[in-house]
Amino acid sequence: METFGKRLTDAIEKRGPLCVGIDPHAALLTRWGLTDDVAGLERFARTVVDALADRVAVVKPQSAFFERFGSRGIGILESTIRQLRDAGSLVLLDVKRGDIGSTMAAYASAYLDPASPLSADAITVSPYLGVGSLQPAFDLAAANGAGVFVLALTSNPEGPSVQHAVGNDGRTVAQTVIDEISQVNRGAEPLGSLGLVVGATIGRTGHDLSEVNGPLLAPGLGAQGATPSDLRSVFGESLRNVLPSYSREVLNAGPSVSALRAAAEAAVDDCRAALG
């Protein structure tokens, strides 16, 4: 079984360094001329699949925007994941789960067990009950060739009050998370399957990402203010592992399939140039 790190490396080489988020919030549905209901959600998701599934390396559905419509929204999410994967995109399901014991194991089973209708190639998780609490997700991901992206340095203004807090050993909370993920990824080829989420808008923070040996998801490009040229200042020598992530900058081009494709292609070109 190929690891997620290997599959991600191959997908980026083939399709380019780009992750596109699927974030069907009410304002975006309205912008597309769609109704803010299950019918609008289904039309939106189907259009994004038609436009991008066969050409973007990674697609990142935000689960909350499907969950808000209840079971029918979850059904559309299941269908969207299946269609994206069938077309060759890796699916990074943005769920940001984090719990302990059997509850974390249940979350892992929901998203990382191939038998689940919500099974994805990777998920996002929150480490703020301790990185060790995420072990059930790490274990199931490893068993099934999937990936896990752990929140480390986020771009929201409230983040630093927690992530930059300093522990007894002199490290920040974020650096502790970074170091623990680095340890798990050590020696993996060509890339570890545990990644980190590091916002593209955060600038220089003084944190050391050089030993991560895993993918670095960089949300915040485009409408949130960051540009591909900002990536070097955030990631420095770890630039080679960065997976740039756009959402609104690409999605605002819809509902035209051709315009969505053009926006994604432009983003890939910009990211390739910035990442070298």
6, 14, 60, 96: which one is catalytic? Answer: 96
Task: Please provide residue 147's backbone torsions phi and psi, each rounded to the nearest 5 degrees.
Answer: -125, 165
Task: Please provide residue 254's backbone torsions phi and psi, each rounded to the nearest 5 degrees.
Answer: -75, 175
In the annotation, is 14 catalytic?
Answer: no
Strands (E), the chain: 19-22, 58-61, 90-97, 122-125, 147-153, 194-198, 216-221, 242-246
For the chain, counts of helices (H) and of strands (E): 12, 8
Note the maximum CA span of the chain. 54
Task: Report how far apart, in Å, the C-alpha atoms of 177 and of each of 128, 134, 185 are.
Answer: 9, 11, 13
Q: How far apart are CA 137 and CA 144, in angstroms?
A: 11
* Closest among 7, 59, 65 to 36, alpha carbons compared: 65
**What is the set of active-site residues?**
96
